[in-house]
Structure 1
Amino acid sequence: MANGFYLYGIFPPPGPTHLDMVGLDKQPVRLQNVDGFVFLYSEAQQDRYLASRRNLLGHAQVLEKAMVEGCRTLLPLPLNRLIVQSWDEVADQFTIPYGETLKQLFTRLEGKREVSVKVYWDEGAELETLMAENADLQAQRELLEGKKLSMEQVIAIGQSIESGLRDRQSDVMDVFRQTLNPYAIALVDSDPQTQSMIYNTAYLIPWDTEPAFSQAVEALDRQFGDRLRIRYNNFTAPYNFAQLDQLE
């Protein structure tokens, strides 16, 4: 039994002209125009959808397929952002109080796409390279082996090593920023998701410049070789640039 409507995202009119897909719980995905805004939805089969990997992927796939099928300008709603019981409720919560904000966001996103770059390194390998390139730091590190040191000495040596690793990380990040930022209309730096991740940035770029952006990422991959592992996502719904916090 349905529990209302599960909303995926919002398009400017007329929205996608053709939809042939299923969403969460294998429900058909449909469109509903409310006050000149086109909502992408399916019938909810649960009162609340957990942020499981399966649900997250299903939610994202609906958004991306809808964009691929001809309507690139999309304001994505996060998983479980809103389950509504009626379209009057949508008007009360979205289109009436935030109509002008939605129009501004559509204007900002028109003709643009979000891409993201995540960079990983091997901290152990970086540490060994740092030692090989810095004789003074290597000598300090050797003091930690087999000698009784004061707590102050141990802390000072550890801080020197950490500072050296931070400098190496900063150097890598500067190269990526200098290479990729000129393509961006806007960007969002996010915190690393793992200890090995040193760069996590989303870029808003014009659709037509993606091939050049991709080539720049490939050039960085060749430049750093095995030292880094680069994960490039060249197409996603623009979560980082929809400013949905304005709707809360």
Structure 2
Amino acid sequence: MGYGLYLYGILPAPVPREPRLQGLDQQPVHVHTIEDFVFLYSEAQQERYLASRRNLLDHERVLEQMMHAGYRTLLPLQFGLIIEDWETVATQLTIPHHDPLNHLLQKLAGHREVGVKIFWDPAAELQMLMEENQSLKAERDQLEGKNLSMDQVVRIGQSIEQAIQNRQDNIIQAFRTQLNPVAIEVVENAPLTETMIYNAAYLIPWDAEAEVSDRIDALDQQFGGRLRIRYNNFTAPFNFARLDQL
């Protein structure tokens, strides 16, 4: 069996046919059933897979292609999971976690994950803030060419920081107000860059994506091009099926 079996995800039984897909290292993807669960796997060609962009995309592509093929209930497994044999899977996963796995599959049934990342230009936002708040601008201008006490510098800096935070909070709340009601569940992740102010994943009904897309377009127009919105309208539901939550 070489290096073992590389696992991609779990489907509820039964799966009527073998998928015609290629996984990591261009290996054919197969299915194996253990009780109520069908595992997507391929023969591992390496002892350990590095989390390179190519490998990550190959892992995700298998899951997304299965979902596009009509298997709308899919529990993705974390990248890099290699097992020696199916007995290991049974003793370490399906037997001790049988009910939680079934619960996750039931939650994911008929749902898909979409993601929203919001970016802004901090310098442009600061400039707009100053134009909209002349009293704060006047306080800031005092910093130029004058000897201010440390307390004055700190106070003005804190006022500006709080005003910028309020602008950011207002944007985030607008997205929550419009998108959260469509979602079954929402996960807010930490921003990945200094210019990213919001990073959220939504578990939505499969056929609700068009509505989410329309709402995001409306939000983009509402903020008049101030934001750069990255919208991923389809992905395997990693944020809502984490094994560490079992």
- Between the aligned partners of 1:57 and 1:84, the Cα distance in structure 2 is 20
Counterpart code for 2:174: V
- Between the aligned partners of 2:73 and 2:24, the Cα distance in structure 1 is 22
- Between the aligned partners of 2:145 and 2:2, the Cα distance in structure 1 is 69
2:115 aligned partner: 116
1:75 aligned partner: 75
Matches within 5 A, 1:202-241: 202-241=201-240
1:36 aligned partner: 36
Give the TM-score taking structure 2 as reference length: 0.96
> Do the aligned residues in 2 keep the contact of 1:105 with 1:242 (CA within 8 Å)?
yes
Deviation at 1:213, TM superposition (A): 1.2
1:179 aligned partner: 178
Q: Secondary structure at the match of 1:115?
A: strand
Q: Does 1:63 align with 2:63?
A: yes
> Do the aligned residues in 1 keep the contact of 2:18 with 2:30 (CA within 8 Å)?
no
2:136 aligned partner: 137
Q: Secondary structure at the match of 1:225?
A: coil
- Between the aligned partners of 2:224 and 2:2, the Cα distance in structure 1 is 52
User: How many pairs were matched up?
Assistant: 246
Deviation at 1:35, TM superposition (A): 2.0
CA offsets 1:85-131 (integer angstroms, 9 cap, x no match): 11111111111111111111111111111111111110100000000
CA-atom RMSD in angstroms: 1.3
Structure 1 stretches (4+) deviating beyond 2 angstroms?
15-18
- Between the aligned partners of 1:195 and 1:15, the Cα distance in structure 2 is 44
Counterpart code for 2:3: N
Q: Which consecutive unaligned segments of at least 5 residues does structure 2 have?
A: none
Q: Which consecutive unaligned segments of at least 5 residues does structure 1 have?
A: none
- Between the aligned partners of 1:189 and 1:227, the Cα distance in structure 2 is 21
Q: Secondary structure at the match of 1:191?
A: coil
Deviation at 1:219, TM superposition (A): 1.1
Give the TM-score taking structure 1 as reference length: 0.95
Deviation at 1:34, TM superposition (A): 1.4
CA offsets 1:117-147 (integer angstroms, 9 cap, x no match): 1111101000000000111110111112122
Deviation at 1:16, TM superposition (A): 6.3
Matches within 5 A, 1:143-158: 143-158=142-157
Cα 1:208–1:16, aligned 2, differ >3 Å: closer, same or farther?
Answer: farther
- Between the aligned partners of 1:220 and 1:32, the Cα distance in structure 2 is 44
> Do the aligned residues in 2 keep the contact of 1:18 with 1:69 (CA within 8 Å)?
no
